[in-house]
Each structure stands twice: as structure tokens, then as C-alpha cells.
Amino acid sequence: MLNKEINKPIVVPWDYSEKAEFALLHAIDFAKALNREIILAHITKLENDVALNVERLNLRAEDIMVQYGIRPSVVVKTGNIFDQIKSVIEECDAEIAVMGTHGIKGIQKFTGSWALKVIAGCNVPFIVVQDKPSEADIHKIVLPLDFKAEEREKLVWTDFMTKIFKCKFYLCYTESSDIQVLKRTQANINAAVKFLEGKSINYELQRLEGREGFAYETVKFAENIGSGLIIIMTKKNMTFQDYVFGAVEQQIIANEAKIPVMCVNPIMKN
């Protein structure tokens, strides 16, 4: 059962893998900074497996308490992982989720990113990680901006991150030859600058060349400055083609530099 007394917890989708352990380590850092609790959420297909998994997760939670001084709550649900992770997040009123991913490899090159499918169904940001916390500077956060109107929705999370880590944000963009795209991108840059300056948040503008692709150049820039996080928006309506052939979001999430990526879903309009 979910603990209704937990205040805006951090949800970690749990599959007993090394990547889930990496996500836990990142979640612990955020939980301590935010004074939040952690929920380990495991989804199983069989009702008969629930009790065994609850017992197994509780044992792991006790170990985590001994190791890190935080005792996660545990939730086990049956059903489809894409639906049930969303259900856990909504029921406990989570603030963020932290999830490990293997990137895009093997069969996922053809069926799409498992991580992106989970993220796209939820309304809270996901921090997606491929490795344990590194020495990369979480005080340096890369914020790519393009022409889409929903790009402005992620600005509120710059304020959120600044309150935790006293960050400097690097606003990355490219200059399109399409006049309308250029105008809309510049409008988003202007809105971001106005927001950041209004909050007295430190930032720097960085124009990327764009010759090698926005996703690739964003990751390379983040790697070059030693950034510990990239914040992106996901698409409102992900298509099969996006999953299979590689939306920009998917390319950044599965980046070879293994930089954690915070994925903010746009608010769905009625």
C-alpha cells in the first residue's frame, strides 16, 4: 500500500538491475537535498508474485537504511509497467522519478526506447540515468532550446534545481535558416532569459553549429563543460516513428556520455 503521509516522494522504478541501483544512488542524493522520501516501485505481471516481491524489496530497503540512512517505502503492482508506474506516481503525488536505463541497444533499436515510453505517460519529470553518480558538476546544467512552444514549460524546473544545487544554466540553441523557426526559437530564448534573470539565476547562452545535429552537439557541449545534467522537454504526442527512428529526446536520453537527463513532459491541454 502507498503511504499517504509521504510528502512529494521520489519514485524509483525497480527491476533489481544494476541500472535500478544506479537510479537509487541518484535518488538518494536528491532525497537528502530535498528532504524527501523514496518509493521503490516494482511492477510484476503475476498476482502470485506480489507477496514475494514485497518481501524482497523490504529486505533491500532495510539494507539501504543501513548503508545510506534512508529507508525507502516499497510498492508492488501487477499489470503493464507503462500504466502502473504512472499509477504509482499519481497515487503518491510524487515530485520526480529517477529511472535507470540501458540506453538504446539490441531489440530496442527496432521497438523503441523503453525509458521514453514510460516517461511519456507521466506528468512528473523523470531523471534518467545510465550510471552511478559521477564527479560531473551538477552545478552546471545544460538547457537546450528549440522552436516548440512547450519548451518554456521546463523553465520552472530551473528554479527547482537552483534551490538545491545553486546551478548555472547553459542555454543551447541553433540558428535555423527557416525564418519562422528562427523567430520562434528566439522567442523561447528571450522567454528563458527573462525568466532566469527574474529569478536571479545564473546562465550563459551557447550557440551550437548545428551541422552534426542538435542532439549530438548538445551532448558534446555538456560533456565538454563537465555538466552533470541536461534538461529536455518530451513531445506531447510520441509516434511509433519517434520511438523507432530516434526522436531528438531519445537520442539525448541514451547519450553515450551517460550524462543524466531530466525529462519534463508538457502539460496536456484538455
Domain residues of the chain, as ranges?
Answer: 10-100, 137-264
**Same CATH fold assignment for domains 10-100 and 137-264:** yes
Confidence label for 219 from pLDDT (cuts 50, 70 and 90): very high
Within 8 A by CB and 6+ apart from 32, the residues are 70
Q: What is the pLDDT of residues 112-166, one digit of tens each?
A: 456 677 787 788 999 999 999 987 768 999 999 999 888 999 999 999 999 888 8
- Could you give the CA distance from residue 18 to residue 39 in angstroms, rounded to a whole number? 17
pTM of the model: 0.89
Asked if 84 and 43 count as a contact pair (C-beta separation under 8 A), the reply is: yes
Asked if 84 and 71 count as a contact pair (C-beta separation under 8 A), the reply is: no
Q: What is the pLDDT of residues 233-265, one digit of tens each?
A: 886 555 544 444 346 777 898 899 999 999 998
Asked if 128 and 263 count as a contact pair (C-beta separation under 8 A), the reply is: yes
Q: What homologous superfamily is domain 137-264 in, according to CATH?
A: HUPs (3.40.50.620)
Q: What homologous superfamily is domain 10-100 in, according to CATH?
A: HUPs (3.40.50.620)
